[in-house]
Every structure is written in structure tokens, then in C-alpha cells.
């Protein structure tokens, strides 16, 4: 999860597992109604917590708002809410997504509904991007030559396997190098079909041994 979603700013946590889903940060400028801003932050956190969200505020006065932005971005909090003088005057909050840093202004009257929609969208977006990136790294191989070509391209390989331990050991021995040997990673729950053998056509064969395959399995190196 850390490797898949993280970026140069730090962690990017899916909302469903984030210990803090929303961090609320006051942004009091010079001559601003600081008490009013802090009260609005408190009310925002209370409304979100009462609606089942994991929300907290950051009232530390020895750090600037900009420092706090970077701090919570590094920790991967999915959504940041900022409240400054303009937001207070317009009875709104500024919401900033961690996944794409998109900013939007939310009326406080529809805060709970829009935060829910935003967190749901972040969750789905992270899943979709991760799945797209994973699928781009997977290659199907039915033969040893196809397997080695994909392995040298640092792909994760889906290949038919006879499910024999000695065959896996042989694959490890034959692919051992400076960057490690290939090994089984896992087998998908939803298995592609194995062709059934008959007199004219052999069934799906193991890419490494040539024996009848029992399942499709992911293979790869650990880099």
C-alpha cells in the first residue's frame, strides 16, 4: 500500500483505513477573527465526528499553516479542511484532497454530505489507479521463452503451472541472478480456464515442465 499509493510528499492512505480521515486546520491571518475561526474548526470536527468520520483539528500555535499542510500530507491524511477569514465570512470550508491535491470550497450547510462523497471518491480513485498500474505490469506467458521475456522486462507473470514443488525449485535455479530468482507469488481466486485435453489437442501445459497444468499462478522476482 505504501509503495503503490505513496508519492514524493509522503504517504497516501485510503480513507477506509486511515486513522485520521480528515484534518481541520485554522488559517488565521493578521487581524482575523481568530476565535471565530477556531470555533468554526471545532464545530466542523464535531459535526464530522458525530457523523462517523475520524476527524481531528490542529490548533498548534508554534507551527505555520503551511508547515501543518506538509506535515499532514506526509502522514497521508486523505482530506484536509482549511478555515480562514474568507471561509468564515462565506460560511464555507476549503477542502484539499491528498491523492490529487485538488481544492474545492464546501458550504458548511452541506459539509457532511460532501465530505462523504469526497472520501468515497478518493477511495475509489486510489483503487482504480492501483488496479490500472497493476494490470499494466502483468503479462500472460504460456511457454518458457515467453516467461523469460516477460521476466527480463520486470513483469509480474501469470502462467499455467503443474503445482509441483520441485518444478518451482527448478524455476528458481534457472532464473537465479544478481537481482534474485523468480518464484510463485500467489494464485488468483478467479482462475482463467484451463483447456481440457483430448486425443487431438493437449490440455494447457505447465510453462516450465510441460506437464498438465493444474492452475494459473503469478510469478515474479522481488526487486
Query: Do the Cβ atoms of 79 and 106 come closer than 8 Å?
Result: no
Which pLDDT tens digit goes with each residue over 18-75?
999 999 999 998 888 999 999 999 999 999 999 999 999 999 999 999 999 999 999 9
Domain borders along the chain are: 2-133, 138-220
Which pLDDT tens digit goes with each residue over 93-109?
999 999 999 999 999 99
Scanning the chain, the segments in alpha helix (DSSP H) are: 2-5, 34-50, 65-74, 85-89, 111-136, 144-152, 165-175
- Average pLDDT of the chain? 93
Q: Please tell me what DSSP assigns to residue 137.
A: T
> Domain spanning 2-133: which superfamily?
Anticodon-binding domain (3.40.50.800)
Query: Do the Cβ atoms of 203 and 213 come closer than 8 Å?
Result: yes
Q: Give, to the nearest 10 degrees, the angle between helix 111-136 and helix 34-50.
A: 70
Q: Give the three cell numbers for residue 10.
A: 509522503
Q: Give the three cell numbers for residue 28.
A: 488565521
Q: Please tell me what DSSP assigns to residue 212.
A: B
> Domain spanning 138-220: which superfamily?
C-terminal domain of ProRS (3.30.110.30)
* pLDDT over threshold 50, residue 114: yes
Query: So what's the pLDDT on residue 179?
Result: 75
Amino acid at each position: 500500500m505504501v509503495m503503490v499509493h505513496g508519492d514524493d510528499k509522503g504517504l497516501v492512505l485510503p480513507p477506509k483505513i486511515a486513522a485520521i480521515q480528515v484534518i481541520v486546520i485554522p488559517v488565521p491571518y493578521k487581524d482575523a477573527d481568530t476565535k471565530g475561526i477556531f470555533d468554526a474548526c471545532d464545530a466542523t470536527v464535531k459535526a464530522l465526528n458525530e457523523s462517523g468520520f475520524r476527524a481531528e483539528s490542529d490548533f498548534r500555535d508554534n507551527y505555520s499553516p503551511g508547515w501543518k499542510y506538509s506535515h499532514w500530507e506526509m502522514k497521508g491524511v486523505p482530506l484536509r479542511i482549511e478555515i480562514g477569514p474568507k471561509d468564515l465570512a462565506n460560511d464555507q470550508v476549503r477542502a484539499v484532497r491528498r491523492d490529487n491535491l485538488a481544492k474545492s470550497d464546501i458550504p458548511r450547510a452541506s459539509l457532511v454530505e460532501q465530505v462523504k462523497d469526497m472520501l468515497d471518491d478518493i477511495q475509489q480513485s486510489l483503487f482504480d489507479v492501483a488496479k490500472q498500474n497493476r494490470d499494466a505490469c502483468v503479462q500472460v506467458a504460456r511457454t518458457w521463452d515467453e516467461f523469460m521475456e516477460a521476466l527480463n522486462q520486470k513483469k509480474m507473470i501469470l502462467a499455467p503451472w503443474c503445482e509441483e514443488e520441485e518444478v518451482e525449485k527448478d524455476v528458481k535455479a534457472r532464473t537465479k541472478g544478481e537481482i534474485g530468482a523468480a518464484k510463485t507469488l500467489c494464485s488468483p481466486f478467479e482462475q482463467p480456464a484451463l483447456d481440457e485435453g483430448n486425443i487431438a489437442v493437449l490440455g494447457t501445459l505447465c510453462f516450465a515442465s510441460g506437464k498438465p497444468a493444474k492452475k494459473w499462478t503469478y510469478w515474479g522476482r522481488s526487486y
